[in-house]
C-alpha cells in the first residue's frame, strides 16, 4: 500500500511503503448495531484516494471525548468540545488532508457548514454532528466539497466498512489501524471497535491523534467519559513519536446502547461492578491502537519500549521515560543499532526528576549494560550489538530510589522521518 502526499499543486508525490513494524494479523471487524459507515474521495487534498468518513449513529447514542491540550486547537476540536455537554450524537464526519487548524474565522465557518451539510444528510440537527480533521495546518478547508458527497455517503452507509473507515482517515500513516474486542455485559455479548490514525506530530496530551471507538453497550455519557479519561492515560498518553503535540488530537467514544435489547443492563456509573470486564476490554482496544501508532511512526524501523522503575513516583517515572523516548540522540542511536547507554544517562539526567548516578542501572533488551554509575563488568559488545538488531527494543532504567514505575512507547528516528517532514506541505 502507498500513501501519497501531494505538495500543493506540485505533481511531485511522496510514496511511503508500509511500515516493517505493521501488525501481521489484522482482526475481522464485526458490525456494531447502531453504527453505519461510508467513505469517499472528496478531493480535500489527496487525489485518487478516499479522504472523508461518515459514521451514522442511531438515535440514543451517547458520546464521550478527550482532546488536545494545545493552546492552538483546531476548529473541529473547539466544535466538539462545545457539543460534549449534550451527551448525544447522531453522526461523525472525519476528513484527512487538511487539519482546519490555524484557519481563524474561515475555519469556524467551515466546521459549521460541514455540520449543516452532514445534518441534512443524516436527518438530524447540526449539534448532533461530531467533526474531526487531520492533515496540513494553516490551509483553509473548503467545506463546499462535502456538498453532495455526504448525502451519497448517508445513503450508502453500511455496518461492515471498518477497514475503509480506517483508511479514509490516514495521512502519512502507512497502514490502517483497527482493533476490536468482545465481552459479556449481563446476558449480552458486547462489541467494541476502534480505529485510529497517527504517524507524526505525536506526543498526545489528554487525547490521541485521531481515534474513534464504538460500542453497542448501553452506557451513559458520564460513565463513558470516565472510562475514556482514565483509559487514555497509560495508552495514548504513553506514546510519543517526535515529542510534538498536535493541534487536532481527538479521541471520541460512541455507545449506541443497542445491546440492551439483548439483555445488557444500562450502566450509569463507571464504578458499576458489572462494568469491570467491559472496562478491561475497552482499555485493551485503546492500548492496541496506541501501540499501532507507535509502530507506524514516520520512517520507523524499530518499536521502542522505555521502562523506568525505582523512581520516587509514577509521575516521576513517566517524565523520565518521556525524556528518554523523546531524545533525538537516543532515537538515532536505536536507528543505528547502537546501545549507547551514555545517551540514556543524559536523558535521565536532564529530566529534572530525582536520580542518583551511582544507583542507576540500564539494560537493552534484557542485557544490562551499565550499573552503579559505570559500565557493567560483564558487558559484551557482540552480545549487545546482536540484540540491537531486533525490530523491537526495550530500554529499561532502574533508578533505585523508590517504587515508582512507568512505561512509554516510541520508535527510532531515521532519515525517512526527515524526508517525510521536509516535504510535507511546501
Average pLDDT over residues 79-86: 95
pLDDT of residue 423: 75
**Catalytic residue list:** 208
pLDDT of residue 205: 83
Q: What percent of the chain has pLDDT over 70?
A: 96
pLDDT of residue 5: 33
The annotation status of 208 as a binding-site residue, yes or no, is yes
Q: What is the pLDDT of residues 303-319, one digit of tens each?
A: 999 999 999 999 999 99
More confident position, 23 or 48: 23
Residue 3 has pLDDT above 80, yes or no: no
Q: How far apart are CA 302 and CA 127, in angstroms?
A: 43
Q: Which grid coordinates belong to 207?
A: 487525547
Residue 31 has pLDDT above 80, yes or no: yes
pLDDT of residue 220: 98
Residue 255 has pLDDT above 90, yes or no: yes
pLDDT of residue 425: 64
Rg of the chain, C-alpha, whole Å: 22
pLDDT of residue 11: 27
pLDDT of residue 169: 95
Do the beta carbons of residue 179 and residue 292 sit within 8 Å? Answer: yes
The annotation status of 361 as a binding-site residue, yes or no, is no
Q: For domain 3-295, give the CATH number.
A: 3.60.70.12
pLDDT band at 188 (very low <50, low <70, confident <90, very high): very high
pLDDT band at 154 (very low <50, low <70, confident <90, very high): very high
Q: What is the pLDDT of residues 263-302, one digit of tens each?
A: 999 999 999 999 999 999 999 999 999 999 999 999 999 9
pLDDT of residue 12: 32
pLDDT of residue 209: 87
Q: How far apart are CA 302 and CA 365, in angstroms?
A: 12
The annotation status of 309 as a binding-site residue, yes or no, is no
pLDDT band at 46 (very low <50, low <70, confident <90, very high): confident
What average pLDDT does the structure give for the chain?
93
The annotation status of 410 as a binding-site residue, yes or no, is no
The annotation status of 326 as a binding-site residue, yes or no, is no
pLDDT of residue 426: 45
Q: How far apart are CA 401 and CA 317, in angstroms?
A: 11
Show me where the domains of the chain are located.
Answer: 3-295, 303-422
pLDDT of residue 421: 86
| Highest CATH level, class, for 303-422 | alpha beta
Average pLDDT over residues 208-233: 96
Long-range CB contacts for residues 165-168, cutoff 8 Å, separation at least 24: 165/37, 165/39, 165/53, 165/55, 165/195, 166/195, 166/196, 166/197, 167/39, 167/49, 167/50, 168/39, 168/40, 168/50, 168/51, 168/52, 168/53, 168/94, 168/96
Instruction: Judge residue 71's burial from the number of C-beta atoms within 10 Å of its C-beta, 0-12 exposed, 13-18 middle, 19 or more buried.
Output: exposed
pLDDT of residue 221: 97
pLDDT of residue 306: 98
pLDDT of residue 156: 97
Q: What is the pLDDT of residues 358-384, one digit of tens each?
A: 999 999 999 999 999 899 999 999 999
Q: Which grid coordinates belong to 78?
A: 473547539
The whole-model pTM stands at 0.93
pLDDT of residue 200: 83
Average pLDDT over residues 390-412: 98
The annotation status of 19 as a binding-site residue, yes or no, is no
pLDDT of residue 16: 57
HEC-encoded secondary structure of the chain: CCEEEEECCEEEEEEECCCCCCCCCCCCCCCCCCEEEEEECCCCCCCCCCCEEEEEECCCCEEEEEECCCCCCCHHHHHHHHHHHHCECCEEEEEEEECCCCCHHHHHHHHHHHHHHHHHHHCCCHHHEEEEEEEECCCCCCHHHHCCHHHHHHHHCECCCHHHHHHHCCCCCCCCEEEEEEEEECCEEEEEEEEEECCCCCCCCCCCCEEEEEECCCECHHHHHHHHHHHHHCCHHHECCCCCCCCCCEEEEEECCHHHHHCCCCECCCCCHHHHHHHHHHHHHHHHHHHHHHHCCCCCCCEEEEEEEEECCHHHHHHHHHHHHCCHHHHHHHHCCCCCHHHHHHHHHHCCCCCCHHHCEEEECCEEEEECCEECCCCCHHHHHHHCCCCEEEEEEECCCCCEEEEEEEECCCHHHHHHHHCCCC
pLDDT of residue 424: 66
Amino acid at each position: 500500500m502507498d500513501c501519497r502526499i501531494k505538495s500543493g499543486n506540485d505533481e511531485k508525490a511522496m510514496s511511503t511503503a508500509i511500515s516493517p513494524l505493521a501488525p501481521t494479523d489484522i482482526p475481522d471487524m464485526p458490525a456494531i448495531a447502531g453504527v453505519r459507515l461510508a467513505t469517499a474521495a472528496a478531493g480535500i487534498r489527496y487525489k485518487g484516494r478516499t479522504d472523508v468518513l461518515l459514521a451514522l449513529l442511531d438515535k440514543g447514542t451517547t458520546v464521550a471525548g478527550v482532546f488536545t491540550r494545545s493552546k492552538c486547537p483546531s476548529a473541529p476540536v473547539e466544535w466538539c468540545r462545545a457539543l460534549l455537554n449534550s451527551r448525544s450524537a447522531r453522526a461523525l464526519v472525519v476528513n484527512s488532508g487538511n487539519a482546519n487548524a490555524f484557519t481563524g474565522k474561515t475555519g469556524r465557518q467551515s466546521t459549521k457548514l460541514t455540520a449543516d451539510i452532514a445534518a441534512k444528510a443524516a436527518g438530524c440537527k447540526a449539534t448532533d454532528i461530531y467533526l474531526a480533521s487531520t492533515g496540513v495546518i494553516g490551509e483553509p478547508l473548503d467545506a463546499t466539497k462535502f456538498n453532495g458527497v455526504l448525502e451519497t455517503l448517508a445513503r450508502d452507509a453500511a455496518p461492515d466498512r471498518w477497514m475503509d473507515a480506517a483508511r479514509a482517515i490516514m495521512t502519512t500513516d502507512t497502514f490502517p489501524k483497527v482493533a476490536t474486542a468482545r465481552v459479556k455485559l449481563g446476558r449480552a455479548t458486547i462489541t467494541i471497535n476502534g480505529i485510529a490514525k497517527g504517524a507524526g506530530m505525536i506526543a498526545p496530551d489528554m487525547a490521541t491523534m485521531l481515534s474513534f471507538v464504538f460500542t453497542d453497550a448501553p452506557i451513559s455519557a458520564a460513565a463513558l467519559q470516565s472510562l475514556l479519561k482514565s483509559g487514555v492515560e497509560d495508552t495514548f498518553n504513553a506514546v510519543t513519536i517526535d515529542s510534538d503535540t498536535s493541534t487536532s488530537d481527538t479521541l471520541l467514544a460512541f455507545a449506541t446502547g443497542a445491546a440492551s435489547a439483548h439483555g445488557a443492563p444500562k450502566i450509569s456509573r463507571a464504578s458499576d461492578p458489572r462494568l469491570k470486564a467491559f472496562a478491561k476490554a475497552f482499555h485493551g482496544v485503546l492500548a492496541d491502537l496506541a501501540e499501532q501508532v507507535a509502530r507506524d511512526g514516520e520512517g520507523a524501523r524499530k518499536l521502542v519500549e522505555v521502562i523506568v522503575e525505582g523512581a520516587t513516583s509514577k509521575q516521576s517515572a513517566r517524565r523520565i521515560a518521556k525524556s528518554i523516548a523523546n531524545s533525538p540522540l537516543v532515537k538515532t542511536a536505536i536507528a543505528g543499532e547502537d546501545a549507547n547507554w551514555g545517551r540514556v544517562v543524559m536523558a535521565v539526567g536532564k529530566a529534572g526528576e530525582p536520580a542518583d548516578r551511582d544507583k542507576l542501572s540500564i539494560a537493552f533488551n534484557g542485557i544490562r549494560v551499565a550499573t552503579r554509575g559505570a559500565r557493567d563488568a560483564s558487558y559484551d559488545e557482540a552480545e549487545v550489538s546482536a540484540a540491537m538488531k531486533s525490530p523491537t527494543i526495550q530500554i529499561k532504567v532502574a533508578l533505585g530510589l523508590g517504587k515508582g514505575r512507568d512505561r512509554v512507547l516510541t520508535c527510532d528516528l531515521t532519515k525517512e522521518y526527515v524526508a517525510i517532514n521536509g516535504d510535507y506541505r511546501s
